Amino acid sequence: MFELLYPDEYLESTYKINFEHLYQEGYRGVLFDIDNTLVPHGAPADRRAIRLFHRLKEIGFQTCLISNNKEPRVKSFSDQVGSEYIYKAGKPLPGGYLKGMEKMKTTTESTLFVGDQIFTDVLGARRAGLYTIMVEPIHPKEEIQIVLKRYLEKVVLFFYFRSRKKKRVEK
């Protein structure tokens, strides 16, 4: 019932993703949400985010930020980490994801997406045909419309974790 909303992976943090392994698996591009995925909502890029993007470039990844925010927010962050970007992306529609892949010159098979929200990030990435990694939000402070969606996310995540547990038992 909820499968289109399920991420391929759910991890504690963007900063715990094994990007080296993903590169070995054939991924060459990473699309990132910004707020509560890389930094707390509205925060500028911090040292940890800047180091991550430097590491990704060393590994060989192309990167692109994809956000529903306006250009000043997204461009500022992009300039700090040295990444391509898409602003006013229209998530969960797939168009912004496809534009991001175009900028990175990657395909759906070689691109993955990292974000913290089911109803925008994960749904949009899944609709675009991407491998999706959902991470826990960095900070609890969020806009009211996101706080309300988090309650619905808890229901989806309940079924997601239950389905994963069931699949492990069946193996």
* pLDDT one digit per residue (tens) for the chain, 171 residues: 578 899 999 999 999 999 999 999 999 999 999 999 999 989 999 999 999 999 999 999 999 999 999 999 999 999 999 999 999 999 999 999 999 999 999 999 999 999 999 999 999 999 999 999 999 998 766 665 666 677 678 877 888 878 877 666 555
pTM for the whole structure: 0.88
pLDDT at 144: 59
Who's near 7: CB < 8 A, 6+ residues apart?
A: 118, 122, 132, 133, 134, 160
pLDDT at 75: 98
Alpha carbons 30 and 23: distance in angstroms, whole number = 10
pLDDT at 163: 81
pLDDT at 159: 82
Alpha carbons 168 and 165: distance in angstroms, whole number = 5
pLDDT at 155: 78
Phi and psi angles of residue 148, each rounded to the nearest 5 degrees, phi first: -65, -40
Q: Which residues pair with 3 in a beta bridge?
A: none
